[in-house]
Chains A and B, each alone.
Chain A
Amino acid sequence: MSRTFLGMPPFPKAAAVSTRNARLRANLTRATHTIRDKRARAVAELDDWAELRQSGREIKDRTLRHLDHYLLQAEQAVTAAGGTVHWAADAAEANRIVADLVRATGESEVVKVKSMATQEIGLNEALAAEGITAYETDLAELIVQLADDLPSHILVPAIHRNRGEIRDIFRGSMARWGRPAPEGLTDNPAELAEAARLHLREKFLRAKVAVSGANFIVAETGTLVVVESEGNGRMCLTLPETLISVVGIEKLVPSWQDLEVFLQLLPRSSTAERMNPYTSLWTGTTPSDGPSNFHLVLLDNGRSDTLADQVGRQALRCIRCSACLNVCPVYERAGGHAYGSPYPGPIGAILTPQLRGLQNEVDASLPYASSLCGACYEVCPVAIDIPEVLVQLRERVVEQAPGHRLERAAMKSAGWLLDHPAVYSAALRTAGKARGLQPRRLPLPGPAKAWSDSRDLPVLPERPFRDWWNRRDDRNHGHTGKDDAAR
């Protein structure tokens, strides 16, 4: 009943199509530019941002280095507080556990809080196959569900839709899922939000089972944390009798005090707010307040494989803020769907291939979905060096699949970049700024080693030729960016 990312074409092919969609490009440019400026202001308010970022990075690294210890500690704390802990090695196991838990309640519908983990495992589709309807309650997830669409952004899954499209989706589809859209609904965002409120209220009031993810689990106390804005999270976490939370094993933080770091880093990076409107924290169950049955499903699904790579494991520091998507020149032009996974953008390009492996063409193409400009690393609140991991993953692609497939993917990426002058110039300019970091040689593994060992990389110029050319004569209207938009 709903679409999945299965069978999507690899990034170069998908991007070649999506970059020609003018409306998608306009929607994405508008939204990402709005949020990136706001984020910069929110971050600039704190003169200790660098120190917070450093602490966030170190706390997450320390947690990952002792993940087995903290998982057991969290299990014990959640159990002691009245919760039940389940372990799921992969998506199929997690979906089985959730479906069985829902069936045990005798219910055939659940309300859902927006959750990347359940997107990742395809929970809604798995539940549907068992006759259980999952209602998405986050506004953007609702838009995606009503439109039978796919999410394209970590924070705002319907970022590729503008207000007019959202109005049409509400008018056309709400009635099939429950309360229809109000008569005469316009594209005013406040009216659209009101329509969502009315549509979902009856579902919240009758729901007996909710499914959520979590932004953090505090190992020492067994506390789960969900950060949100709309109140749909509070509804799902408070009103139903049974709550099932599916959480990746990397979401742990050791101590209650650690929240002071992450609850400063996350809202400012994500929605550019000092604090998001609602944060819910719960520890097991509380008599007569909130769900009386609480189940935590700890999900591996490729995370332990990711942990084994000493360079790549830093991707597990990610707190899903989506700041890297909002600054990425490739994401802005290609859109989220081109990444073939619920995790799009720069973080998706390093997370998806590590979680799913590099076996198929889609995942093997993702490490090339980048100009390595480094903007993602700069804004990352836990300092994930995404370009470093991308390069490492490219090496792994080469190692395991030498020959044509890689070459093809690389050439297609390059072809796409060359076809989009604005991205290309942005990539060149940032490369210029990173000259100090440039290695003299690019050590390629395997058979390519002999070739790379005997060749120095060309030195990056301070200013790319194109910039220099455009600036030397102002009357020669700069081409960068403009011809791109006209394509």
Chain B
Amino acid sequence: MTSARDRILAKVRAALADVPPGPPDADPPATRAYRTAHTEATGPALLALLAENLADYRAVVHQTTSARLPELLAEILRAHGSRSVAVPADLPPEWLAATHDMTRLIDSPDLTAEQLNGVDSALTGCALAIAETGTIVLDAGPAQGRRMLTLVPDHHICVIRADQVAASLPQALPRLDPTRPQTWISGPSATSDIELERVEGVHGPRRLEVVVVSGRPQ
């Protein structure tokens, strides 16, 4: 008896009897006449566009400098009433330099979703951000931790450096590594399932605060 794999492939090939044999490259490539970006903004204007689009989908956006970052993060955690914060093991130590009296859960393979469920906030960096769509991308790389870290807690604070901001999706994709697990986040969790009206806040963090750090990277 032939395998399902062989049967499916044979049926697919028979269905394509009208296509001349040969590799896909024998076909002309698909046209790509679309834009590589819908904005020409760079520098502070690009950061402003990112902030505007993030805010449009109900993320809370802060802009600051590297020098003021620790103060701002302490303020955000205090304002949220957080008493515990989950962080990746390689979080830059200065980020929490001004935060005191706060239980820190450090990400490791042993940290469970159950433990994270009792944490008030999660603080991470990101892989990059996309200004046009108001999207931040996490890929479990530096200062990000595992995927569950930014999923289970109800409050996610994400720090973006100015040099991590791409204008558009076509400009962002080549900078991302497909072999890494990725989460693209555009605003807090939401649903349109009740009468197709958007409601923020279902299973993912209901509050997303993004801190855009301007100035040259360190």
The contact of B34 among A51, A162, A263, by CB within 8 Å, is A51
Stretch in contact with the other chain, from B62-70, B78-86, B93-101, B128-136: B128-136
Asked whether A274 and B27 contact (CB < 8 A) given A139-B193, A289-B181, A304-B12, the answer is no
Could you tell me if B19 and A66 are in contact, using CB atoms closer than 8 angstroms? yes
Complex CA distance for A192 and B151, rounded to whole angstroms: 20
- When C-beta atoms are compared, the residue in chain A nearest to B192 turns out to be A271
Could you tell me if B53 and A230 are in contact, using CB atoms closer than 8 angstroms? no
Give the chain A neighbours of B130 by CB distance below 8 A: 275
Could you tell me if B181 and A51 are in contact, using CB atoms closer than 8 angstroms? no
Stretch in contact with the other chain, from A279-287, A334-342, A370-378, A457-465: A279-287
Tell me the smallest distance from the CB of B143 to a CB of chain A, in Å: 15
Could you tell me if B34 and A283 are in contact, using CB atoms closer than 8 angstroms? no
Could you tell me if B12 and A307 are in contact, using CB atoms closer than 8 angstroms? yes
Could you tell me if A71 and B12 are in contact, using CB atoms closer than 8 angstroms? yes
Q: With an 8 A cutoff between CB atoms, is A392 at the interface?
A: no
Tell me the smallest distance from the CB of A98 to a CB of chain B, in Å: 14
Asked whether A27 and B169 contact (CB < 8 A) given A58-B30, A197-B202, A235-B151, the answer is no
Q: With an 8 A cutoff between CB atoms, is A360 at the interface?
A: no
Could you tell me if B202 and A274 are in contact, using CB atoms closer than 8 angstroms? no
* Residues B3-20 near A (CB distance < 8 A): 3-5, 7-9, 11-16, 18-19
Could you tell me if A66 and B186 are in contact, using CB atoms closer than 8 angstroms? no
Stretch in contact with the other chain, from B40-48, B172-180, B210-218: B172-180
Tell me the smallest distance from the CB of B18 to a CB of chain A, in Å: 6
Stretch in contact with the other chain, from A14-22, A175-183, A199-207, A440-448: A199-207
Q: With an 8 A cutoff between CB atoms, is B125 at the interface?
A: no
Could you tell me if A289 and B146 are in contact, using CB atoms closer than 8 angstroms? yes
Complex CA distance for A58 and B31, rounded to whole angstroms: 7
Q: With an 8 A cutoff between CB atoms, is A138 at the interface?
A: yes
Give the chain B neighbours of A27 by CB distance below 8 A: 195
Tell me the smallest distance from the CB of B102 to a CB of chain A, in Å: 24
Could you tell me if B186 and A277 are in contact, using CB atoms closer than 8 angstroms? yes
Q: B147-164, CB under 8 A of A: which get 1 and which 0?
A: 110010000000000000
Tell me the smallest distance from the CB of A27 to a CB of chain B, in Å: 7
Could you tell me if A239 and B113 are in contact, using CB atoms closer than 8 angstroms? yes
Could you tell me if A156 and B132 are in contact, using CB atoms closer than 8 angstroms? no
Could you tell me if B15 and A54 are in contact, using CB atoms closer than 8 angstroms? no
Complex CA distance for A102 and B152, rounded to whole angstroms: 25
Interface on chain A toward B: helix, strand, loop, or mixed SS? helix
The contact of B193 among A138, A264, A277, A310, by CB within 8 Å, is A138
Could you tell me if B24 and A274 are in contact, using CB atoms closer than 8 angstroms? no
Could you tell me if A260 and B194 are in contact, using CB atoms closer than 8 angstroms? no
Give the chain A neighbours of B32 by CB distance below 8 A: 51, 55, 261
Give the chain B neighbours of A54 by CB distance below 8 A: 31, 33
Could you tell me if B203 and A232 are in contact, using CB atoms closer than 8 angstroms? yes
Complex CA distance for A32 and B193, rounded to whole angstroms: 12
Could you tell me if B195 and A189 are in contact, using CB atoms closer than 8 angstroms? yes
- When C-beta atoms are compared, the residue in chain B nearest to A236 turns out to be B203
Could you tell me if B12 and A249 are in contact, using CB atoms closer than 8 angstroms? yes
Give the chain B neighbours of A45 by CB distance below 8 A: 38
- When C-beta atoms are compared, the residue in chain A nearest to B7 turns out to be A89
Number of A positions contacting B (CB below 8 A): 98
Q: With an 8 A cutoff between CB atoms, is A259 at the interface?
A: yes
Complex CA distance for A229 and B191, rounded to whole angstroms: 6
Tell me the smallest distance from the CB of B152 to a CB of chain A, in Å: 8
* Residues B103-118 near A (CB distance < 8 A): 109, 113-114, 117
Tell me the smallest distance from the CB of A69 to a CB of chain B, in Å: 6
Which one of A93, A140, A277, A286 has the greatest number of beta carbons of chain B within 10 Å?
A277
Complex CA distance for A46 and B39, rounded to whole angstroms: 11
Give the chain A neighbours of B114 by CB distance below 8 A: 205
Tell me the smallest distance from the CB of B120 to a CB of chain A, in Å: 16
Give the chain A neighbours of B18 by CB distance below 8 A: 310
Give the chain A neighbours of B199 by CB distance below 8 A: 189-190, 193
Give the chain B neighbours of A277 by CB distance below 8 A: 57, 185-190, 204
Q: With an 8 A cutoff between CB atoms, is A76 at the interface?
A: no
Q: With an 8 A cutoff between CB atoms, is A238 at the interface?
A: yes
Q: With an 8 A cutoff between CB atoms, is A422 at the interface?
A: no
Q: A48-90, CB under 8 A of B: which get 1 and which 0?
A: 1001101100110010011111111000000001000011110
Could you tell me if B35 and A286 are in contact, using CB atoms closer than 8 angstroms? no
The contact of A139 among B15, B183, B202, by CB within 8 Å, is B202
Complex CA distance for A307 and B169, rounded to whole angstroms: 31
Tell me the smallest distance from the CB of A409 to a CB of chain B, in Å: 27
Could you tell me if A263 and B169 are in contact, using CB atoms closer than 8 angstroms? yes
Give the chain B neighbours of A62 by CB distance below 8 A: 24, 27, 29-30
- When C-beta atoms are compared, the residue in chain A nearest to B110 turns out to be A288
Complex CA distance for A300 and B147, rounded to whole angstroms: 32
- When C-beta atoms are compared, the residue in chain A nearest to B19 turns out to be A65
Could you tell me if A304 and B15 are in contact, using CB atoms closer than 8 angstroms? yes
Q: With an 8 A cutoff between CB atoms, is A469 at the interface?
A: no
Could you tell me if B147 and A230 are in contact, using CB atoms closer than 8 angstroms? no
Could you tell me if A166 and B23 are in contact, using CB atoms closer than 8 angstroms? no
Could you tell me if A194 and B201 are in contact, using CB atoms closer than 8 angstroms? yes
Could you tell me if B190 and A254 are in contact, using CB atoms closer than 8 angstroms? no
- When C-beta atoms are compared, the residue in chain A nearest to B13 turns out to be A68
Tell me the smallest distance from the CB of A284 to a CB of chain B, in Å: 8
Q: With an 8 A cutoff between CB atoms, is A479 at the interface?
A: no
The contact of A239 among B30, B35, B148, by CB within 8 Å, is B148
Tell me the smallest distance from the CB of B60 to a CB of chain A, in Å: 15
Could you tell me if A259 and B197 are in contact, using CB atoms closer than 8 angstroms? no
Give the chain A neighbours of B132 by CB distance below 8 A: 274
Q: With an 8 A cutoff between CB atoms, is A163 at the interface?
A: yes
Can you report 15 A-B residue pairs in the complex whose CB atoms are below 8 A from each other? A34-B197, A51-B34, A81-B179, A139-B191, A166-B194, A234-B151, A238-B148, A249-B8, A254-B24, A256-B178, A275-B186, A276-B186, A290-B146, A298-B8, A307-B12
With A62-B27, A277-B204 known, 9 other A-B pairs at CB within 8 A are A48-B38, A51-B33, A68-B9, A139-B193, A194-B201, A204-B113, A271-B192, A273-B57, A308-B14
Residues in chain A within 8 A of chain B (CB atoms): 27, 30-32, 34-35, 45-48, 51-52, 54-55, 58-59, 62, 65-72, 81, 86-89, 93, 137-140, 143, 155-156, 158-159, 162-163, 166, 189-190, 192-194, 196-197, 200-201, 204-205, 218, 221, 223, 229-232, 234-235, 238-239, 249, 254, 256-257, 259-261, 263-264, 271, 273-283, 286, 288-290, 298, 300, 304-305, 307-308, 310, 313
